[in-house]
Structure 1
Amino acid sequence: MSYIEAADMIDAASEALAYLKNTPRPTGRGREAEFKWDRLAGACWTYLGILMDRDVGGPVPALLSQFYYAQSIVDQMKFGMDNDETEDYRDNALYCDADGFKYYGPNDKDPSKPGEPIRFVRDEKDERGNVKWSQGFYFFNFIKMWIEGVQTPTNNAICKGRDLAVTVPDIDAMIWCKRALKTLNVVIPTKVDEGFQLADDAFETMSKYWVHELAHYYGQVDDGPLVDVPAVDEDGKPEYDADGKRGKVYRLARLVNLVANMPELAANTAEAYAYFAMAVYVEAL
């Protein structure tokens, strides 16, 4: 159910951006038409930090590249949902938690190629020509994974702390964490009270996090995956979590602070796509 609703949210986001791209504000053409434009343009600014041009349609000229970048990510999500594959034919993988990944060290036999120890397997090399798995790897379902500087032989570092889901671009995989499966609502409530806010816990759903993680999966920023941007407070100063570590943009309050202080970064953070898609989808219900 959450996957189906996420697909509907992505459809709504794709339709909204296509409409805004070519439509100036329909001033004088009726309250309904004006309200539609205001609602969608407002969502584009509130969540993606992209201001629309009321007179000619599309984004204001200074934000054209950000708009096209955001639209490309949403349209790639839509293609994937519609066709059950990516446009670049990645080997997509989906896992429920990472417990199935087992560590194999340099002296262990390669489980995917029985025979020599991993340190002697020469047909898989990194971009520098070195043996790719010199430190070993985590292995599950014929997928090999080793995240340099993050994983250790005793800790795969996935689904740690308060993680709900994790996208690992290196193995083209999305991993749902146990915490998400136990705590998140599956879909958005079909009935909401007047005055609801997307910040309400009822909207912390698996469908929302599908969109969030797919933004990581498809987004490429500076030759790397689209990230969770470091959080700032309402004054634009760095914001920290309770453990003293620099916080990241999760939940609506932090996204709003980011847009208010650094709107140019909003389209580079996954949470923006989740809230934008949710906002235009909920209003369309």
Structure 2
Amino acid sequence: MFAPSDLDVLVPTRDRPGALAVTLSGLAAQTAAGFRVVISDQSGTPAGEDLLVAAAIRIVSHRGRPVEIHRHVPPRGMAEQRAFLLGRAERRLVLYLDDDVWLEPRAVEVLLAAMERLRCGFVGYALHGLSYRDDVRPDELAPYEPWNGEVRPERVRRETPAWRRHTLHNAANPLHLAEKVGAGDIEWQPYKVAWIGGCVLYDRARLVECGGFDFWRGVPPRHAGEDVVAQLRVMERYGGAGLLPSRAYHLELPTTVTDRRAECYDHVFEAT
């Protein structure tokens, strides 16, 4: 069985010490203990010098989850930062967790249980944007399909019907989707995704086998959508699933990726 000691949590961060402290507080409160936290810091002022971040790191470490923080500058794009983190991972599983995500206390425990059962390439939580909790979008929930039984490999591209699933994760759609399908009454339920942003647990060996984020060398330094490319590659070979109900919450801060003109998808898939 997968245990917390099989897990590295990989956190990229840049110039958001307050959000990082909240993210770390969620990790400190997890029911699962023994995982390791690895932070790649590209902030102008080192994140570890912030008093809230320093305190949060001490608390996470005190609660049996060792923390490493690496100063990784200059920034060369999110794909490179994620590749850097993957290169420092040592354990069987890696959870990429953005620096503006708060997790419910059982979030990691449930992710590990789902990966143990499904044995696919990745599982993850779409992020709740609770400022939209009263904004119900039935049309955007329409592409929902549960995984019944085994999670199978899928080829998802812009031209395929499966691409339309990306609307499932807009705004507070994960919350409304769980309510619609009655997932709040169960431990977890897997469903089909186009991709998941912000909180994704990978089988590390499978992610590496599919190229990880090494494509960073072939994309402009200012880019977006690096997680989409990595997940589409893993999904095509090993399958992937979202989990309902989601136990991850977006802090809804302004994005640090402000220039989104270069989509990694275009440079990786359209150029081949």
State the TM-score, normalized to the length of structure 1: 0.25
State the TM-score, normalized to the length of structure 2: 0.25
RCO higher in structure (CA 8 A, sep ≥6): 2
